């Protein structure tokens, strides 16, 4: 009797099991070199399955030495391209060819391999994949009705997050420290269960990390060398809600049914964003909308009528292209985080698909600001018209997002009218924020009923006036606002002529650019006790302590470029030795570019020449 076992049968130890019960006594076991190559690759990558398979091969050698069976290694090692195509069946095909060549029975625990072999006319012996214990999740005993997540790591005591959404606690749930052996047993059992069960699948498989979805549990399994020890993190939703369970339920229903919308659901991790997104998805589906989801991993708990898509070929852009052909009414996009995610969200929304995106944010306005720099400012209301902020499992804030051509609040000159994005509190109907461009920079200004001494608009105006004056003054500069459209600038006496210019031409140009009347005076004319914004080179007063991310600007033929690793799409301040230079928005490419020859560039180059420390801080 000739037997060709495939990789799954060797890993599960099914050959030696049959030798032990006498089924294969005297059989000729033909081990494909392709199986050896695959096991060696898995063992080198740190997978226990590879080591289990190699242990099985050693047992077969012992049986052969005892004369119980014959063992022969046949075939060839798979090529690199065949190893890469293992998931597409390239290695399985090599194994089936050997079974045909040697007129052997194919032994497998892989149901697909079994069915293909039967279709090819092979003698196939299929055995169920080996499962440690029963078919329940190996770590199920750690979960209670109020457990949201379980956290296990070798060398530590098991912990869990338990409680209601509004009162969650991270606590130790077992006094016994988890061993490496126990962790490996749990991890292998979870992976095997996911492969076998129709209720589970492996969402992501990379060396050192696997993401498993089993029923409503999302389980991340990390192993060395990716992690410093075996770690298992299992998460599940602890609440199933409907839209009726939330505040503003009637109003939100009307908004969703009125027309397709662009909605951002925001909140801190664990606040209940995904739970709310699930209730929205179910509501839309129950009201005859075609609903799909885009998730990686797929863990939203929605009904079977809602198809859940993941990243096609690892790329959500490809998933979006496919969904645009399917033409859903609404798509739930879980975990919109990176610039590419926001681009996909915007493209689908502008194509007419209703979009509901889940975004991490600590304030409702932060979710909207994450679009700045990633989406053209004037298009933001077409991409997102509603922001829902979730806190402790409840709807905390709902914002309407619209646009209007107007003079921004806090400014008065009619010629300063521009497109302004208004962010209005849905409950009160009052605008709470305005987003617009001010002197080529995007600013977000909070609106309040009170009139503080120094508003957001005041601070921005002071900085812009200071920057303009410092581009022509050589000494210390201070700015005072005298009203919404008037300012007094104090400079050194020797700088008066430079700032005013011949016939007042230079200061007039600055006034026209800023839309503010500026009165230029010397420092000696400044009233005692009058406040101001310190500028210049810090010749007076204490030096400002540098803070923020230190950067090294690059000077090219056309630009001064500041490379940034973080803050993509965010508004930041550039400073020299802690002193404000200008405000900018970090581009999608992760840099700030200033055209050479401009006042800003000259100021920045001067700071570089003086070897001043250049830093960048969030605005």
Collapsing DSSP to helix, strand or coil, 262 comes out as: strand
406, 348 in Cβ contact below 8 A?
no
Parallel, antiparallel, or unpaired: how do β-strands 486-491 and 478-481 relate? antiparallel
Q: Are 328 and 316 within 8 A, CB to CB? A: no
Per-residue pLDDT at 533: 40
The backbone torsions φ and ψ at residue 142, rounded to the nearest 5 degrees and listed phi first, read -80, -15
**What pLDDT, on the 0 to 100 scale, is given for residue 375?**
87
Domain 140-235 has CATH 3.30.450: yes
Q: State how far the Cα of 401 lies from the Cα of 500, in Å rounded to an integer.
A: 42
**Could you say which DSSP state residue 26 is in?**
T
Q: How far is 521 from 504, CA to CA, in rounded Å? A: 13
**pLDDT at position 529:** 55
Rg (CA), the chain: 33
> In a 10 Å sphere around its CB, with 0-12 CB exposed, 13-18 middle and 19+ buried, how is residue 531 labelled?
exposed
Note the residue count of the chain: 619
Residue with tokens 């050589």: 474
Q: Which CATH architecture has domain 2-126?
A: 3-Layer(aba) Sandwich (3.40)
Confidence at residue 82, expressed as pLDDT on a 0 to 100 scale = 62
Between CA 615 and CA 619 the distance in angstroms is: 12
Whole-angstrom Cα distance, residue 13 to residue 54? Answer: 10
Cα 484 to Cα 332: distance, rounded to the nearest angstrom: 44
Along the chain (619 residues), what's the average pLDDT of each consecutive run of 10 residues? 90 88 90 89 75 90 90 84 59 88 90 86 84 69 91 95 80 94 91 78 85 88 91 84 86 88 90 90 94 87 88 90 92 91 94 94 89 87 94 91 85 73 91 84 74 54 80 82 79 85 84 82 76 40 54 83 80 81 80 80 81 83
Alpha-carbon gap, residue 322 to 309, rounded angstroms: 10
Whole-structure pTM value: 0.53
Please state, in angstroms and rounded to a whole number, the distance separating the CA atoms of residues 326 and 324.
5
> What is the reported pLDDT for 572?
81
Judged by DSSP in three states, 467 sits in helix
Q: For residue 200, what are the β-bridge partners? A: 214
Q: Closest by alpha carbon to 598, among 551, 558, 553, 552?
A: 558
Residue 579's alpha-carbon distances to 542, 550, 596, 617, in angstroms, are 11, 13, 21, 11
- Which residues fall within 8 angstroms of residue 519, CB to CB, at 6 or more apart? 482, 486, 487, 488, 489
Residue with tokens 């019960």: 21
Q: Which pLDDT score is estimated for 141?
A: 92
What string of H, E and C letters represents the secondary structure of 141-193?
A: HHCCCCEEEEEEECCCCCEEEEEECCEEEEEECCCCCCCHHHHHHHHHHHHHH
Q: How many other CB atoms are there within 10 angstroms of residue 219's CB atom?
A: 29
- Asked: is 243-446 a CATH 3.90.170.10 domain? The reply is no
Quick one: tokens of 584? 């900018």
CATH class of 456-525: alpha beta
Angle at 72 between CA 68 and CA 77, to 5 degrees: 150
Within 10 angstroms of residue 246's Cβ, the number of other Cβ atoms is 20
C-alpha 245 chain-centroid distance: 28
Closest by CA to 261, choosing from 400, 393, 403, is: 400
| CA distance readout (Å), 577 to 66, 455, 471, 475, 572 | 80, 25, 17, 16, 16
């Amino acid at each position: 009797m000739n037997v060709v076992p495939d990789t799954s049968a060797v890993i599960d130890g099914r050959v030696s099991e049959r030798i032990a019960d006498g089924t294969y006594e005297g059989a000729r076991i033909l081990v494909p070199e392709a199986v050896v190559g695959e096991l060696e690759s898995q063992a080198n990558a740190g997978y226990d399955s590879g080591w289990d398979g190699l242990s099985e091969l050693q047992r077969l050698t012992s049986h052969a030495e005892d004369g119980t069976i014959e063992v022969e290694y046949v075939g060839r090692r798979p090529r690199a391209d065949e190893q890469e195509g293992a998931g597409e069946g390239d290695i399985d095909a090599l194994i089936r060819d050997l079974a045909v060549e040697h007129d052997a029975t194919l032994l497998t625990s892989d149901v697909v391999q079994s069915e293909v072999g039967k279709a090819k006319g092979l003698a196939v012996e299929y055995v169920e994949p080996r499962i440690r214990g029963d078919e329940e999740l190996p770590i199920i005993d750690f979960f209670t009705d109020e457990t949201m997540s379980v956290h296990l790591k070798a060398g530590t005591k098991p912990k869990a997050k338990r409680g209601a959404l509004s009162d969650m606690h991270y606590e130790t749930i077992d006094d016994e420290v988890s061993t490496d052996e126990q962790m490996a047993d749990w991890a292998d059992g979870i992976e095997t269960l996911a492969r076998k069960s129709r209720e589970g699948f492996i969402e992501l498989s990379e060396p050192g990390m696997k993401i498993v979805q089993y029923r409503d549990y999302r389980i991340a399994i990390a192993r060395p060398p990716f992690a410093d020890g075996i770690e298992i993190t299992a998460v599940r939703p602890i609440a199933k809600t409907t839209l009726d369970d939330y505040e503003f339920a009637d109003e939100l229903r009307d908004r969703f049914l009125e027309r397709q919308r662009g909605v951002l659901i925001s909140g801190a991790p664990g606040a209940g964003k995904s739970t709310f997104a699930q209730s929205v998805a179910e509501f839309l589906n129950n009201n005859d909308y075609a609903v799909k989801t885009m998730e990686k991993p797929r863990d939203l708990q929605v009904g079977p009528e809602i198809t859940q898509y993941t990243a096609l070929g690892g790329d959500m852009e490809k998933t979006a292209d496919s969904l645009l052909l399917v033409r859903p009414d609404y798509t739930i996009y879980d975990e919109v985080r990176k610039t590419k995610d926001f681009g996909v969200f915007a493209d689908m929304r502008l194509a007419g698909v209703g979009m509901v995106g889940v975004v991490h944010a600590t304030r409702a306005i932060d979710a909207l600001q994450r679009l700045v720099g990633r989406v053209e400012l004037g298009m933001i209301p077409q991409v997102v018209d509603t922001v829902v902020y979730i806190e402790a499992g409840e709807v905390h804030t709902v914002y309407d997002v619209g646009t209007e051509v107007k003079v921004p609040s806090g400014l008065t000159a009619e010629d300063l009218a521009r497109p302004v994005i208004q962010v209005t509190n849905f409950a009160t109907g009052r605008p709470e924020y305005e987003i617009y461009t001010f002197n080529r920079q995007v600013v977000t200004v909070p609106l309040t009923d009170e009139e503080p001494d120094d508003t957001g608009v005041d601070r921005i105006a002071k900085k812009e006036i200071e920057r303009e004056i410092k581009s022509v003054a050589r000494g210390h500069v201070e700015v005072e606002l005298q009203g919404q459209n008037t300012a007094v600038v104090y400079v050194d006496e020797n700088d008066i002529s430079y700032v005013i210019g011949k016939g007042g031409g230079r200061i007039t140009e600055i006034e026209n650019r800023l839309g503010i009347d500026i009165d230029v005076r010397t420092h000696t004319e400044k009233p005692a006790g009058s406040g101001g914004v310190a500028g210049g080179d810090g010749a007076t007063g204490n030096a400002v302590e540098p803070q923020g991310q230190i950067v090294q600007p690059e000077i090219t033929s056309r630009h001064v470029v500041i490379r940034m690793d973080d803050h993509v799409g965010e508004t930041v301040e550039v400073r020299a030795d802690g002193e404000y230079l200008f405000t900018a928005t970090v581009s999608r490419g992760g840099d700030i570019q200033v055209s050479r020859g401009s006042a800003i560039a000259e100021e920045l180059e001067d700071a570089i020449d003086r070897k001043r420390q250049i830093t960048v801080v969030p605005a």
